[in-house]
Structure 1
Amino acid sequence: MDSKLEQFTLKYQQGQALLDKGQYRSSVKILEEAKSLISLSSRLGGDVQLSLVTAYQGINKLDDAIAICEELTRHPNLEIRQQSQRILYILKAPQLKRPEEWMTKIPTTNTDDNSTPRYIQAKPVTKSFQKPSLNLEDVSKIDTKDNGFIGLALVLFIFIIGGLIWLGKG
């Protein structure tokens, strides 16, 4: 295998791994190095440029991503041309305005002037959990007086069963 191709493969895989992790700036740097090691008119040259398009989108350099896509629409490989045309269509689509209430504001944490602490210390638990104990005095307070419901239910049950038996004989 050619030394230049080995270097390209290593750089391309590193750039892809960084891209997959969302490390777009590092990915751009490595993919640009890989791009310089391969013929841009080859399939691999097209693949590395498509990856660069995604990385440029990630760092909000849409003009660079569009420029690469426009070049790729004239690539010798049909699949690269078709894929770049689809991506270019998306990149050039008008951006929709989202209502402010749809957005979640996330405070920046990269400045030292943020006086709000990022973490709030939890308050210590003051009450300890105690298992309730069974008190015999509480048991004696339970109302055990029969309200007559069980007797009524038993009488109705007997009449229903008796009626069904009588109907079965007749």
Structure 2
Amino acid sequence: MTSEQAIVKSEYQAGKFAFERGKYREAVQHLEKASALVARNTRLGGEIQIWLVTAYEAAEQRQEAVALCEQLKRHPHSETSKQARRLLYILQAPQLKRPQEWLTQIPDLGALPDNDSQTRLGSDKVSKKRPSQTPVIPEPIDLSKVNTKDNRFIWVALIAIALTLAGLIWSI
């Protein structure tokens, strides 16, 4: 393996790793480097470029993703061209409007101080201002409203079992 192939593999792996960790811009950089160093018409070149399309889309670079998909539709490796056509179909689909109540707002945790021991998990210091938790006592059940009638299911089941056993014993 030449040093250029090793660089391609390491950039490709670094791009995939960054993408899987949600670092999309970093993934784009690594995948672009790997794509520039590999022959684009090879199977590995197509695979890297497909990852690059998804990284472009995740990094909100839709125009670059669509343009690369258009090129990859004519890739000599059939699996790559098929994936490019599918991705292009998804990228060009109209964006649906979602109602606000469907979305979950994630609070900005950047404003929290880093060294505050009371906000960190696993801190040895315990805050003195914790509210005392009182145990929840369930309401008592009124036994006069509980149905205690025998529904005769047990007797029917026992008779059915006894008849089955008697039939088995008799047939032996």
TM-score, scaled to structure 1: 0.64
**Aligned partners of 1:105 and 1:86: how far apart in 2?**
31
Gaps of 5+ in 1: 113-118, 130-170
Cα 1:36–1:106 shift into 2, 3 Å: same
**Aligned partners of 2:39 and 2:59: how far apart in 1?**
25
Taking the TM superposition and a 5 Å limit, the aligned residue runs for 1:1-170 are 1-110=1-110, 123-125=129-131
Cα 1:65–1:122 shift into 2, 3 Å: farther
**Aligned partners of 1:91 and 1:72: how far apart in 2?**
14
**Aligned partners of 2:110 and 2:51: how far apart in 1?**
28
- Paired positions, count: 124
**Aligned partners of 1:68 and 1:122: how far apart in 2?**
58
**Aligned partners of 1:122 and 1:97: how far apart in 2?**
46
Alignment-mate amino acid for residue 35 of structure 1: S
**Aligned partners of 1:87 and 1:102: how far apart in 2?**
25
Rg (Cα) greater in structure: 1
Alignment-mate amino acid for residue 124 of structure 1: R
Q: Once the 2 structures are TM-superposed, how far is the Cα of residue 42 of structure 1 from its aligned partner?
A: 0.9
DSSP-derived class of the 2:19 partner: helix
Cα 1:31–1:124 shift into 2, 3 Å: same
Please tell me the root mean square deviation across aligned C-alpha atoms, in Å.
Answer: 2.8
**Aligned partners of 2:128 and 2:48: how far apart in 1?**
49
Cα 1:45–1:127 shift into 2, 3 Å: closer
Gaps of 5+ in 2: 113-118, 120-126, 136-172
